[in-house]
Structure 1
């Protein structure tokens, strides 16, 4: 797996092309998602986070107001998200299927 093709780029560098998306998301390349992971930048802005999570920016703002989203930090007057906080938040919101035997 080439390391240069799995790094998530900041918002101003997102191309939006299907080739780019295939480079960013292993499942679109037909790879096993469990073995290929994206490398997040150290800090993300709201635009980056919304795109990474495939949600609207308004959803991120709503999460911020309700305190349910990933932990955020202020850098100057700007809100940023640490990659480690995003991954922790995703892990804490993982739902495991019930083991139902019939």
Structure 2
């Protein structure tokens, strides 16, 4: 699903919202999550999952074109861990499919 599909899904479920309001909802949620991660905070959405950041150490790698060794600097990356509710819905473990459709 891409961002425009997410906005369209919100439109289906909330016909009372204007196009600007639907876009603002998606933009605000993503901005708040991004700001929290930039500040080093963890974002937990119950039954969905947790976003956090992790540090990657610098390492040696090879350029696939030339085979020459290059140094990859230390970086920070976003880590997502799905919640138990998400795992259950994905694997349909003792979950009624209609109930899953209602949650989504």
Q: TM-score, normalised by structure 1?
A: 0.23
Higher radius of gyration, 1 or 2: 2
Normalized per residue, the structure richer in strand is 2
Structure with greater contact order relative to length (CA < 8 Å, sep ≥ 6): 1
Q: TM-score, normalised by structure 2?
A: 0.22
